[in-house]
Each structure stands twice: as C-alpha cells, then as structure tokens.
Amino acid sequence: MQTKETIVCRCEDITLDEIKALIEQGYRTIDEIKRVIRAGMGPCQGRTCRMMIAQELSKYYGIPVGEVLMPTFRPTVKPVKLGTFAGGE
C-alpha cells in the first residue's frame, strides 16, 4: 500500500499536512500560502483548494470561514498561452 496522502491542491500536488505545517509556521492567509507553496496557482486557479485552505485557517485561528481573507483575484481566470495574447486584440 502506498503512503496515505490527503491532497488539498490537486494541480500542484500539495497535501493537507503541508498546508497545516505552513499555518503552524505562522502563515495567516490564502495568498501567503499560495506564494510560498503555489497552492491555487495551477490550471484550476484555486477553485478546488481555496475553500479547503480557508477551512484550515478558520479551524487554526478559531475564526468563521467567512472571515478568512480571500486571495486577490486577477485576470485571467484560467491559464492562457502567451501566443494567444500575442495574436489577439
């Protein structure tokens, strides 16, 4: 049997343990965690992991999940090839 892993960010292959370790180190927001470990920077742009990370932050800091600071949302909402930008309007 393989080692059991609980995946939070499927795009970047990041586990729940890795997220928890970062939170214990003092990272307090989804954006901070994203910058350190790339969670949410893959093809799905955080649609899978964002709220799972929010939940972990909410549990650790004892705040409602709705009060966890959301990351900054910027265009584009999905990865786009550079060639598309180069060839378009």
Partner 1 sequence: MKEIEILIIGGGPAGLCAASAAANLGATVLVLERDGEPGGQLVKQTHKFFGSKKQYAGDRGYQIGNLLIEECKKNPNIEVWTDTTALGVYEDGVVTAERQGKHLKIEPKKIIVATGASEKMIAFPNNDLPGIYGAGAVQTLMNVHGIVPGQRVLMIGAGNIGLIVSYQLMQAGVEIAAIIEASPTIGGYLVHASKIRRAGVPILTSHTIVEAYGQESVEGAIICRLDENWQQIPGTEQDLNVDVICLAVGLSPLTELCFQADCQLKYIAELSGHVPIRNEYLETTRTDLYVAGDVSGVEEASSAMVEGRLAGISAAYSLGYGAGVAPQLQAEALAELSELRSGPAGQKTVKGIMKLMDKGEAVC
Nearer to partner 1, 62 or 74 (CB): 74
Closest distance of CB 18 from partner 1, Å: 12
Between the alpha carbon of residue 55 and those of residues 16, 74, 89, the distances in Å are: 11, 22, 40
CB 12 within 8 A of CB 42: yes
Q: Which candidate, 60, 59, 44, places its Cα nearest to that of 7?
A: 44
Closest distance of CB 40 from partner 1, Å: 11
| Contact pattern for partner 1 over residues 59 through 78, marking x by CB under 8 A | -----xxxx--x--xxxxxx
Task: For residue 24, state whether it binds partner 1 (rule: CB under 8 A).
Answer: no
Torsion of CA 67, 69, 73, 79, to 10 degrees: -110
Task: For residue 36, state whether it binds partner 1 (rule: CB under 8 A).
Answer: no
Q: Which of 43, 47, 59, 69 binds partner 1 (CB under 8 A)?
A: 47
